[in-house]
Amino acid sequence: MKSHQSSRVFEMKVFSALTIGAAAVVVIGGVQAQNEQVTLRVAGFGAAGSVAAIKIIDAQFMQKNPNIKVDFEEVAGFQYQSILNTRFVAGDAPDVVMSNGVDFAKPWLKAGYLSELTDQPWVKNVINGNRTETYLGTNKAYQFVIENAGVGLFYNKQILDDAGIAIPQNYPQFIAAMTKLKSAGKTPISIGAKIGWGALMPVATGIVSTAYRTNPNYDQRLLNGQAKFDSPEWRTVLQRVVDWSKAGFFDAKMSLGIGDFEQAAGEFIAGRAAFLVHGSWNVDALRDSKTNKFAYGFMPFPGNPAGTKSRAIIFANANFVVNAKAKQPEASRKYLNFWADNIDTYLKETGGRYSSLTTSKYREVETAEFGRALSENRASVYPVGNWDRPSFQEFFMKQMQQLLTDNNVDSVVKALDTEFNRK
């Protein structure tokens, strides 16, 4: 009995010693924590190719800031919005979150999930064309635009040279080129419209080089009702697609079964079409191509009248925002500043992307014409993504499919106006 009791006393002593010791460890640990490792959580969509580049930047960042560990979470692109929305609502989104254009970030901002970044040093270097995305339509900065994708015209220089065609600089020249290619037995242009995107691009690039060229604030005019779709400017650019189809520059019926992205671009990359109106990211595939080595170029779509200059479309393909409830607000800002300083490294790795910062020096040779338009401020943000109507692009794409089916410009512009003004 006695020995039992004494063993209990002993146990209690050991226990209290352990408790005090543990408490001491906790206190010391707490003091040290300030200089110790913090983990910065970053979430992004794994758009092909860019993840490798993100990991390079992250590694360099961690080397420079040994006390910050970047934990990059990849979420498959087509589930990204549903997953991140859910995390934001639940209050446990990562510190830094990738976003796309303005569609993802605007609702997040309205719901109060985003942290203001106006005082960050990179904000003053944002090129004009990217202010919409950076400021999300407010007068405070919220988004760091990692990269712009451009939409414009790819041309196969070899096919043009063989047919004795100069690179078209305006719409009459472009039509003349396609006519000549057609009569030479070449496929003038590759268009895939299985979801409608590929048919929308000639229209979007067309309107930018016409209505937006003369009035860069055309978005505003549409939004406040001064401009509408049932107007000569939209009818003109929509009619162009109908004209191309009627002239046999592409097969409208067939294009409805051709994948808008890989498949339509693949035709150009394989050297089977002279032109492609598409996104600058195809530069990756063209650059990596080993068998199809032909000279090519990427330029703003020449949808402009003779005697004027064409205009480029850019859109923020990938951005970062900072969570208002970030556990590491300081490290988050440090991280974005590091990105701003090293953006050229990223652009070199990914190819076919453009910086949003005037401090960037990086240019691809093949895409120099497009880059020149950006530096001369001949660029607009992708209009359809800039109207604060998240469902409108889907609708527009379906209307384009309708147009390819029945060539009826009149019903398309009326449907667009109705949908645009629906509340």
Partner 1 sequence: MVKTRMQRPHSPSKAVPWLHYANTAALIAVVIFFLLPIFFMILVAFKTTEEMANSPFSLPLSLNFSNFLTALQRLDFLRLITNTIVITIISSVLTVLLSSLAAYPIARVRTKWMNGVYQLFLIGLTLPFFVVLLPLYLLARDLGLLGTIPGIVFVYTAFNLPFAIFFTAGFISAIPIELEEAASIDGSTPLSTFRYIILPLLRPANATVAMFIALSVWNDLLLPLLFFNRNEQRTIMPGVYTVVGEFSTPYNELFGAALLASLPLFIFYLILQRQIIAGVSAGSVKG
Partner 2 sequence: MRWYVALGFLAPALGLYILFVLYPTLRGMSYSFTDFSGVGEAQYVGLTNYQRILTDTQAVAAIRNTLVYAIIVVIAQNILGLALAVWMGNMPRVRNFARVALFTPSMLSAVVVAFIWSYLYSPLGGVLNAVLDVFGLGILKRVWLGDSSVALLAIAVVSIWMFTGQTAAIYLTNYLGISQEIRESATLEGANAWQRFFYVEFPLLAPATTICVTLTLISSLRVFDLPFLLTKGGPGNATEVLGLAIFQAAFTNQQFGYGAALAVVLTLFVIMVAVLQSSVLRKRESNL
**Residues at the site binding partner 2, with contacts judged by CB under 8 A:** 81-82, 85, 88-89, 103, 107-108, 110-113, 193-196, 253-259, 263, 267, 390-391, 394, 397-398, 401-402, 404-405
- Check the CA dihedral 213-219-224-228 and report its sign: positive
How many of the other CB atoms lie within 10 Å of CB of 77? 13
User: Among residues 210 and 255, whose Cβ is nearest to partner 1?
Assistant: 255
Min dist CB 82 to partner 2, Å, is 5
Partner in contact with 45, chosen from partner 1, partner 2, none, beta carbon below 5 to 8 Å by kind:
partner 1
Q: Which residue has the tokens 């990105």?
A: 339
Min dist CB 282 to partner 1, Å, is 7
Among 11, 71, 376, 406, binds partner 1 (CB under 8 A): 71
Partner in contact with 289, chosen from partner 2, partner 1, none, beta carbon below 5 to 8 Å by kind:
partner 1
Residue 179's alpha-carbon distances to 157, 185, 294, 387, in angstroms, are 16, 10, 22, 35
Q: Which stretch binds partner 1 (CB under 8 A): 5-13, 166-174, 262-270, 382-390?
A: 262-270
Rounded to whole angstroms, the Cα distance separating 67 from 55 reads 17
Tokens of 133: 């995305």
Partner in contact with 257, chosen from partner 2, partner 1, none, beta carbon below 5 to 8 Å by kind:
partner 2
Q: Does 266 bind partner 1 (CB under 8 A)?
A: yes
Continuous H helices in 247-328: 252-255, 262-269, 282-288
User: Among residues 93 and 312, whose Cβ is nearest to partner 1?
Assistant: 93
User: Among residues 153 and 177, whose Cβ is nearest to partner 1?
Assistant: 153
| H or E, element range at 278 | strand 275-279
Partner in contact with 75, chosen from partner 2, partner 1, none, beta carbon below 5 to 8 Å by kind:
partner 1
Min dist CB 381 to partner 2, Å, is 19
User: Among residues 87 and 378, whose Cβ is nearest to partner 2?
Assistant: 87
Q: Which stretch binds partner 1 (CB under 8 A): 68-76, 236-244, 307-315, 362-370?
A: 68-76
Residue 208's alpha-carbon distances to 69, 172, 331, in angstroms, are 43, 16, 39
Rounded to whole angstroms, the Cα distance separating 345 from 421 reads 43
Residue 189's alpha-carbon distances to 140, 268, 407, in angstroms, are 42, 8, 18
Q: Does 162 bind partner 1 (CB under 8 A)?
A: no
Partner in contact with 255, chosen from partner 1, partner 2, none, beta carbon below 5 to 8 Å by kind:
partner 2
Q: Does 265 bind partner 1 (CB under 8 A)?
A: yes
Closest residue by Cα to residue 295 from 312, 310, 274 = 274
Q: Are 115 and 141 in contact (CB under 8 A)?
A: no
Q: Does 78 bind partner 1 (CB under 8 A)?
A: yes
Closest residue by Cα to residue 88 from 118, 106, 70, 112 = 112
User: Among residues 73 and 417, whose Cβ is nearest to partner 1?
Assistant: 73
DSSP string, 9-28: HHHHHHHHHHHHHHHHHHHH
Q: For the purposes of burial, counting CB atoms within 10 Å of the CB of 316, is it exposed (0-12), middle (13-18) or buried (19 or more)?
A: buried
- 359-398 positions binding partner 1, by CB under 8 A: none
Residue type, 261: F
Write the CB contacts of 138 (distance below 8 Å, at least 6 apart in sequence).
109
Angle (deg, nearest 10), helices 409-420 and 392-406: 170
Q: Does 47 bind partner 1 (CB under 8 A)?
A: yes
Min dist CB 347 to partner 2, Å, is 29
Partner in contact with 254, chosen from partner 1, partner 2, none, beta carbon below 5 to 8 Å by kind:
partner 2
User: Among residues 142 and 281, whose Cβ is nearest to partner 1?
Assistant: 281
Q: Does 43 bind partner 1 (CB under 8 A)?
A: yes
- 97-156 positions binding partner 1, by CB under 8 A: 100, 149
- 288-317 positions binding partner 1, by CB under 8 A: 288-292
Q: Three-state DSSP class for 258?
A: coil
Partner in contact with 73, chosen from partner 2, partner 1, none, beta carbon below 5 to 8 Å by kind:
partner 1
Q: In the chain, what's the furthest Cα-to-Cα distance? A: 111
Contact residues toward partner 1 (CB under 8 A) are 41, 43, 45-48, 51, 71-79, 82-83, 85-87, 89-90, 92, 94, 100, 149, 261-262, 265-266, 269-270, 279, 281-282, 284-285, 288-292
